[in-house]
């Protein structure tokens, strides 16, 4: 039996449907992230699980017991808030001990368990300080300790790391993983930041516009995105609109309205005349010295930008199919160089045309998109 079972969970605020029939399970001891652009409904799901919002429809069970109608203070789960919500009038130790006090744990035991928590989050000796005397990272640890001290079945995270700088965030990510491994407590983590989600989670739930797009292990979502949105949201992608010209078994010839046709290999049921989006990951695009080197197809392009990203170089290459982002090991190309680009026909992911565009027609979705775009723009995103 799953620890948390959510089925057909729906939340409407007036005319707005924030969460639309979400269903997923979380197993005991898992680290699962809900990933989606802001406004996609991920925080609403979290707040329903925590008990701060009542679902409009659907059910939730924790350890087999229904959560619907159970007030937050009676649920066997704790939350780490986005702004941490540390009690400003209490010391660090009092903050951590607050939950124990509420559940009537005797003072002596409270003290011991608080001390143990301080030790676990490496804040020994900070117990008597006030939260506002602590750095951002230290405050994160206090919030985490406060949520863990009751040893709940499930800990919820509402993007608590988003305010930290990158280095600290990465450090906290590994701390989260360490602590989760130590405690064995199930974590449900909500974020719009794919880097965090990809690096810490066992499984991902990708949410868009209130609906779940795909649930699965991180690699599966990356390698086999179920929708253009997932492909786009998890890692970077180059998208080219094209029309199927010819089908020969698994092999498709695609016309992008340019001189050179694209090729793709798929078991999908595409027919000539179908309009599709061809998506290809930047690291799957290869740079060649000459077009003739390609086994199937290639086109020419000019290097427009070149940025060094540690082991990889990220190029932007202007081609007839539009600008393509390329992650490559080859360091030999400079801005302005003529290159040829290609990829393995089997590496392209094909989706019905305009799917992701259609999603972005509502203004909300546009805002979400721009948020996700800004994430993708981060070079480390891939």
Partner 1 sequence: MAEAASTEERSTGRNRRVRALVTYLRDRRRLRTSLVAGPPYAVLVLFFALPVLTMLVISFRLGSITGPFTLDNYANFLASDTYRTVLWRTLLVTVEVTAIVTVVGYALAYSIVRFSRRTTLLLLLVILPFWTSYIIRMYAWINILQSGGVLDSTLVLLRVVDGPVGLLYSQEAVLIGFTYVWLPLAVLPFYASLSNMDPDLIEAAKDLGAGPIKAFFTVTLPTTANGVVTGIILVFIPTFGSFITPRLLGGTNSIMIGMVIENQFKSAFNYPFGAAIGMIISAVVVAVLLFGARGGGTLFAGGDGP
> Could you list the residues that contact partner 1 (CB under 8 A)?
50-52, 71-73, 78-79, 81-83, 85-91, 93-94, 96-103, 107, 110-111, 113-114, 146, 150
Q: What is the dihedral of CA 151, 155, 159, 164, to 10 degrees?
A: 20
Both structure tokens of 216:
């699965």
Cβ–Cβ < 8 Å for 230, 238: no
Q: Which of 81, 297 has the CB closer to partner 1?
A: 81
Q: Which of 82, 243 has the CB closer to partner 1?
A: 82
Question: At closest approach, how far in Å is the CB of 236 from partner 1?
Answer: 34
Question: At closest approach, how far in Å is the CB of 296 from partner 1?
Answer: 55
Question: At closest approach, how far in Å is the CB of 179 from partner 1?
Answer: 18
Question: At closest approach, how far in Å is the CB of 90 from partner 1?
Answer: 5
Furthest CA-CA distance within the chain: 78
Distance separating alpha carbons of residues 31 and 203, to the nearest angstrom: 7
Q: Which of 90, 367 has the CB closer to partner 1?
A: 90
Question: At closest approach, how far in Å is the CB of 348 from partner 1?
Answer: 45
Q: Which of 91, 243 has the CB closer to partner 1?
A: 91
22 Cβ partners below 8 Å, 6+ apart?
Answer: 6, 8, 9, 10, 41, 45, 58, 207, 210, 211, 212
Long-range residue pairs from 126-129, CB within 8 A, at least 24 positions apart, any chain: 126/92, 127/91, 127/92, 127/93, 127/96, 128/91, 128/92, 128/93, 129/91, 129/92
Q: Which of 49, 164 has the CB closer to partner 1?
A: 49
């Amino acid at each position: 039996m799953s620890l948390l079972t959510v089925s057909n969970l729906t939340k409407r605020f007036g005319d707005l449907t924030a969460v639309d029939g979400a269903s997923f399970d979380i197993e005991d001891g898992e680290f699962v992230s809900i990933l989606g652009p802001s406004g996609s409904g991920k925080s609403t799901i979290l707040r329903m699980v925590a008990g701060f919002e009542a679902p409009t429809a659907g059910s939730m069970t924790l350890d087999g017991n229904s959560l619907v109608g159970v007030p937050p203070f009676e649920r066997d789960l704790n939350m780490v808030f986005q702004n941490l919500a540390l009690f400003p009038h209490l010391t660090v130790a009092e903050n951590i001990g607050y939950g124990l006090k509420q559940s009537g744990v005797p003072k002596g035991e409270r003290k011991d368990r608080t001390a143990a928590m301080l030790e676990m989050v490496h804040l020994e000796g900070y117990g008597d300080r006030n939260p506002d005397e602590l750095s951002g990272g230290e405050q994160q640890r206090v919030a985490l300790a406060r949520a863990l001290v009751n040893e709940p079945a499930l800990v919820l995270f509402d993007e608590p790391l988003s305010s930290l700088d990158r280095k600290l965030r990465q450090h906290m990510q590994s701390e989260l993983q360490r602590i989760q491994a130590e405690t064995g407590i199930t974590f449900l983590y909500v974020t719009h930041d794919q880097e965090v989600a990809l690096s810490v989670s066992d499984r991902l739930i990708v949410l868009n516009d209130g609906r779940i797009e795909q649930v699965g292990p991180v690699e599966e979502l990356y390698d086999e995105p179920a929708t253009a949105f997932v492909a786009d949201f998890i890692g970077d992608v180059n998208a080219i609109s094209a029309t199927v010209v010819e089908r020969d078994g698994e092999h498709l010839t695609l016309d992008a309205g340019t001189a050179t046709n694209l090729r793709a290999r798929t078991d999908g049921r595409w027919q000539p005349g179908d309009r599709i989006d061809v998506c290809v990951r930047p690291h799957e695009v290869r740079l060649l010295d000459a077009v003739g080197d390609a086994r199937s197809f290639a086109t020419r392009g000019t290097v427009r930008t070149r940025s060094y990203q540690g082991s990889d170089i990220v190029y932007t290459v202007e081609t007839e199919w539009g600008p393509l982002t390329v992650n490559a090991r080859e360091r030999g190309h400079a801005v302005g160089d003529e290159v040829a680009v290609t990829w393995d026909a089997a590496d392209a992911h094909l989706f019905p045309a305009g799917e992701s565009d259609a999603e972005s027609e509502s203004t909300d979705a546009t805002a979400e998109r721009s948020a996700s775009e800004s994430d993708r723009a981060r070079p480390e995103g891939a």
